[in-house]
């Protein structure tokens, strides 16, 4: 039976790896690395850099695969994502077969496989079903709060973790004074009335390229927009996250 190990690697900083993660990399027969096109080649190179620093087992092989894009012409978002995941699972299966179907295969997952990541859902599409192991990693939420040296919640206060899409469609989540927003390529904080809101933002959180900003949303928001645009132009990609809190 195939054992598929999903290894959380945090932000890509080798210092964020747990010893459990390093052991899992060195016991894998094959590690698959996705390539997302030239504009995001740095993401694959970061994974290679981590492996070069960690791998001591000469028997561990590394193979790349081209990650397909979503078909944005499909109007229904859920259907669009489901078909995309089907395509990725098929490519995984082909890559594993091309490598001789080794018994232990691993994938490196940004952050932690449990949080706004679809690797587990894609793995569930493989046939026959593999045995799945998950190695937890540092999340971008932890990297964000560490970068700003702030607690995630107020005393006895709940926290909502949401997406940019939901923030745009539904506004600030009801029933709480604090929310973390992920997967927000549109800077959806722009859609909120800024009065009484504080923002803590980080791009490339935990990495050498880390950028942060914070303050009242009315003041920090425009700065973040300009900084984010410049960083994305410089690197060709960006991963960012922010926390919003009512005063």
Instruction: Verify that 174 and 132 share a domain, yes or no.
Output: no
Q: Residues 180-224: pLDDT tens digits?
A: 999 999 999 999 999 999 999 999 999 989 999 999 999 999 999
Instruction: Verify that 88 and 127 share a domain, yes or no.
Output: yes
pLDDT at 11: 83
Instruction: Verify that 34 and 152 share a domain, yes or no.
Output: no
CATH of the domain at 182: 3.30.950.10
pLDDT at 40: 60
The answer to whether 48 and 35 are in contact (CB under 8 A) is no
Instruction: Report d(CA 65, CA 114) in Å as an integer.
Output: 23
The answer to whether 174 and 192 are in contact (CB under 8 A) is no
Residue-wise pLDDT tens for the chain (247 aa)?
899 999 999 988 889 999 999 999 999 999 999 987 665 667 788 899 999 999 999 999 999 999 898 998 999 989 999 999 999 999 999 999 999 999 999 999 999 999 999 999 999 999 999 999 999 999 999 999 999 999 999 999 999 999 999 999 999 999 999 999 999 999 999 999 999 999 999 999 999 899 999 999 999 999 999 999 999 999 888 999 999 999 8
At which of 105, 123, 138 does a domain end? Answer: 138
CATH of the domain at 69: 3.40.1010.10
178 forms bridges with which residues in the sheet? 245
pLDDT at 12: 80
Instruction: Verify that 149 and 231 share a domain, yes or no.
Output: yes
pLDDT at 198: 98
pLDDT at 133: 98
Instruction: Report d(CA 14, CA 151) in Å as an integer.
Output: 24
Going from the C-alpha of 172 to that of each of 115, 156, 160, the distances in angstroms are 20, 19, 10
At which of 138, 169, 192 does a domain end? Answer: 138
Instruction: Verify that 116 and 169 share a domain, yes or no.
Output: no
Domain count, the chain: 2
pLDDT at 44: 82
The answer to whether 87 and 79 are in contact (CB under 8 A) is no
Give residue 229's domain range.
141-246
Instruction: Verify that 34 and 107 share a domain, yes or no.
Output: yes
pLDDT at 176: 92
Instruction: Verify that 119 and 178 share a domain, yes or no.
Output: no
Instruction: Verify that 233 and 175 share a domain, yes or no.
Output: yes
Instruction: Verify that 205 and 126 share a domain, yes or no.
Output: no
Instruction: Verify that 125 and 155 share a domain, yes or no.
Output: no
pLDDT at 41: 64
Instruction: Verify that 226 and 116 share a domain, yes or no.
Output: no
- DSSP-assigned states of every residue in 6-21: EEE-BTS-GGG--HHH
Q: Residues 116-130: pLDDT tens digits?
A: 999 999 999 999 999
At which of 138, 153, 171 does a domain end? Answer: 138
Instruction: Verify that 86 and 113 share a domain, yes or no.
Output: yes
Predicted structure pTM score? 0.88
């Amino acid at each position: 039976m195939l054992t598929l190990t999903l290894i959380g690697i945090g932000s890509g900083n080798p210092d964020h790896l747990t010893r459990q993660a390093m052991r899992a990399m060195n016991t894998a027969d094959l590690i698959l690395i996705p390539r997302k096109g030239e504009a995001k080649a740095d993401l694959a190179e970061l994974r290679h850099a981590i492996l070069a620093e960690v791998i001591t087992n000469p028997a561990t092989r590394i193979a790349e695969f081209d990650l397909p894009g979503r078909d944005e012409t499909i109007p229904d978002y859920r259907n669009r994502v489901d078909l995309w995941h089907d395509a990725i699972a098929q490519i995984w299966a082909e890559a594993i077969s091309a490598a001789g179907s080794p018994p232990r295969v691993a994938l490196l997952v940004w952050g932690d496989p449990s949080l706004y990541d679809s690797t587990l859902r894609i793995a569930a599409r493989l046939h026959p079903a593999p045995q799945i192991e998950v190695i937890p990693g540092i999340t971008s939420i932890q990297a964000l709060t560490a970068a700003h040296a702030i607690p995630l919640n107020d005393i006895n206060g709940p926290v909502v973790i949401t997406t940019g899409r939901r923030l745009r469609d539904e506004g600030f989540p009801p029933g709480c004074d604090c929310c973390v927003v992920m997967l927000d390529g549109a800077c959806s904080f722009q859609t909120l009335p800024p009065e009484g809101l504080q923002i803590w933002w980080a791009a490339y959180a935990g990495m050498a390229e880390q950028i942060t900003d914070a303050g009242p949303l009315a003041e920090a928001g425009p700065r973040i927009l300009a900084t984010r645009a410049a960083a994305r132009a410089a690197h060709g990609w960006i991963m960012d996250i922010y926390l919003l809190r009512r005063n």
